[in-house]
Amino acid sequence: MKTIKNIFFSSWCALLPLVVFAADGESDMDSLPALMPYPQQLTPHSAAPEFILSGNSALCFRNSPSNRLRAAEARFRRRTERQTGISLNAATRCDTPCVAGNISVVELAVTSEDAPSTLGELSRAGDAYQLEINPQRITLSADFEVGILRGLQTLSQLLGIQRANAASLQPMTINDRPRFRWRGLMLDSARHFFSVDTIKRQLDGMAAAKLNVLHWHLTDDQSWRLQSHAYPRLHETAPGGNFYTREQVADIVAYAFDRGIVVVPEIDMPGHASAIGVAYPELMSAPGPYTPEDHWGVHKPLLNPANPAVYTFAEKVFAEVAELFPFEYVHIGGDEVNPEHWEANAEIQRFMQTRQLPDSRALHNFFNRRLSEILAGLDRKMIGWDEILHPGLAPDAAVQSWRGPDALGDIARAGHNAILSTGFYLDQPQYTGYHYRNAIIPESLEFTDVQPGEQWQTWQFSAPRKRGSPVSGTFTLIESRDGELRGVMKFSGKTPQRLRGVKRAGPYTHFSLDTWMGPLRARLRLNNKTLSGEFVVGNAPYHPVGEQIGGTQAEHEAPVFSGAQHGLTDVQVENILGGEAALWAEMVDEHTIDLRLWPRTFAVAERLWSGEDLQDEAFLYRRLPVIDRWAEAALGLQHRSQQAAALHHLFPKSLQSQALAFSAVLEPAHYYHRHHEKSVHETYSRRDPLNRFADSLPVESIALRELRALAESLPRDPTSAIDVESLQPGLLHLWRAGVAAQSLRQHAEALPADIRKLADLVDQQMELGFLITARFVERQPFTPNEEVAVRAQIASLKGMHGEVVLPAVYVLERFMDRLQYSGPGVNNNTDKQHD
């Protein structure tokens, strides 16, 4: 197939005069520093000389520092040496002789100390800081010492990785404070145990991202990880004997406090309680016996709300928790309660009758109120997941939403503090841009009704999944008089959402939207009132089927969408505390945690810290690689080294460079596609190994991002000039990966079977990429027979291959569609395709 590449490159040269290039010079965004999260206000002083930091520069405190500030200043000096090689002396008071004269000075000024132990003290003002950089002096000031901690992170990012005896900084003024006061990360130590050092490393990353809440998931069906003196069999039965001693917990809480982070423990009740059943079966609703649970999923065991010993258990456990965790909130889980064991227990049914509890939902509410009362007696407040929201819930209880903006709005309207996690699940691999688009505040969405003369159709769909119920719902497409398309989709149980980019190409209808599953791109055939095609969720497909259930020719009236989702009042908006990234650990362990969290968590942190109007994804992706390298060098995060270690395990030493180039165009399957695959082909449990090629891959192929973005932004007009140069980076990576794949195939005997198969596919993808893009650039559609062959090859490359996806194939298919159905001389009859 070398001739294809030759044709492509010769065509490229021939078409260069047609390329439309951007104007010379940097854009405003390009000239801004690569900070994450980005400050609320940053004013460069470009005309002023740079500040020069060297070993002679002085650090000083305007006031006597606390132990926490002393520790932060020492960390800043160590980090600066790792980043730049500059060794700074310990800070002194600013009125000492060592800061006199013409030497450059970094001055830290704080008004008062603070030690937040309540929600009220997690205020936006408490994190605020001001950073002033002029040619001779840097002044970092804050009202509270936590603000100094945040500002030192910004200063460290500004220094970057300069590796010199002196580092220069552009003069500027920064006034910064967070948008939300609750900016969290949930780590799940119940399913896979994380060592104390690993958790501390994540806390360093959190501090750098200006996150301030570690939500520590310590108990679940699979294990109880917290040492208990009152009920020792809880931790003694933990898998592998792995649990956190009281001393280790105190160490982690203190480590977090030094970095401006509070720790909220999650102790699950009444569900996710199989581990309690193993240790103390007498507390459960079904007789048992209970065996250690290592399967993932939702399990049936529940605590028995009719047993007084259960409340004694809760009192003693929460007393131990309150002793270890000083922050005022304790998370009780409260989610995914399957009432089967309650309904089958005669004692519990009599208990419900006596207390006039009509159903299991009411029993669950009763239990939650009792837990809230126990916590109140310990001067603590309750947080739970969506399911705890009910009339009569303690007014000071907070509710965390995993169900999405609809549920978050319900929480805020009910007057409770609300925290969003939907859209921030980092254990579900997703593109960083998806997390970045995630809106914290539920938006008021108004839809334009069908107007006179417009054509409309409503379609019902169901997309089967390998685990769980199908994804189902309806969508309506509306075509205006001038041919413009718009649409609305309503998933079952969800409020409607507006479709993006609705268009037709040949027999296909395309649109996209962000869902609770991730970004969804539809490529559907709507023919003869039947629906087929693909929903690509994240980077892997579901195959929906359905039918038309309404339309312009129908007797009933057109659908009305106005007011489909109401917004919140200003008072209700104030109930939304912020959000949390979540890293559930079914498929994350000690060896992959950094690779899954970083640097994507910086994008989530920016959504929680920075202004709502900061939405430029190109600006995000320009900064992300810089932060990626800085986080490794300055913080010691191991996302890069964990990938390198995984590749060393999978590939011979002589093939490491090829392995990296090969990996650059591959991704692990996104959303829960891998979970569903393991449910069908493996045990979906702790027994499934997490040392395979899919586990070695970063979540997102940054190498292919430009190519993906280009395909998504192709101009509507097929005669528009083609920016051939913009194809080059993505095709270069496809070529490098293909060459690497060919080299790997020559050493097939040294590679696992799944990698040998992927090498064949990556080689095919390279050849296909050159073929399609060459024709695309030349605007030469394939003949019908050629198209059939190329489409068949595309189909063979789609989907999951050993839980790995070739994301470029979907991009190439979009170029193919555009070429075949929008090029000169193509019969693109789309007017009748929906009749």
For 73, the token pair is 């200043």
Three-state DSSP class for residue 686: coil
Three-state DSSP class for residue 515: strand
Q: Which domain holds residue 135?
A: 41-176
Residues 198 and 347 in one domain: yes
Q: What is the pTM of this model?
A: 0.94
Distance CA 197, CA 636 (A): 12
Strand partners, 60: 92, 107
Sign of the torsion angle spanned by Cα atoms 223, 227, 232, 237: positive
pLDDT at 13 over 90: no
Residues 425 and 541 in one domain: no
Quick check: is 627 in a domain?
no
Residues 370 and 470 in one domain: no
Region of poorest pLDDT, from 48-52, 193-197, 716-720:
716-720
Quick check: is 834 in a domain?
no
pLDDT at 835 over 60: no
CB-CB neighbours of 828 under 10 Å: 14
Render the burial of 430-441: b for 16+ CB within 10 Å, e for the rest.
bbbbbbbbbebb
> Exposed/middle/buried for 275, CB within 10 Å: 0-12, 13-18, 19+?
buried
- C-alpha closest to that of 118 among 328, 326, 384, 418: 328
Residue 106: pLDDT band (50, 70, 90) is very high
Q: What is the pLDDT of residues 411-449, one digit of tens each?
A: 999 999 999 999 999 999 999 999 999 999 988 777 888
We report the CATH number of the domain holding residue 218 as 3.20.20.80
**Mean per-residue pLDDT, 196-216:** 98
* Cα angle 15, 16, 21; round to 5: 130
Contact 269, 332 (CB under 8 A): yes
The reported pLDDT for the residue numbered 24 is 33
For 660, the token pair is 């990296």
Distance CA 831, CA 829 (A): 6
Tell me the HSE value of 266 on the side-chain side, using a 13 A CA sphere.
Answer: 31
Residues 172 and 191 in one domain: no
Quick check: is 805 in a domain?
yes
Which residues belong to the active site? Answer: 220, 272, 336
Residues 13 and 74 in one domain: no
Distance CA 627, CA 83 (A): 12
Distance CA 355, CA 85 (A): 69
The DSSP line for 11-71 is: HHHHHGGG--PPPSS--TTTTS---SSPPSEEEE-TTSPPEEEETT-EEEESSPPPHHHHH
Domain boundary, last residue among 157, 176, 195: 176
We report the CATH number of the domain holding residue 147 as 3.30.379.10
For 264, the token pair is 């909220």
- Phi first, then psi, for residue 385 (nearest 5°) are -75, 180
Residues 172 and 196 in one domain: no
**Mean per-residue pLDDT, 493-515:** 93
The reported pLDDT for the residue numbered 219 is 98
Strand partners, 510: 503, 523
pLDDT at 453 over 90: no
The reported pLDDT for the residue numbered 116 is 54
Residues 12 and 80 in one domain: no
Quick check: is 220 in a domain?
yes
Domain boundary, last residue among 582, 602, 626: 582
Residues 143 and 201 in one domain: no
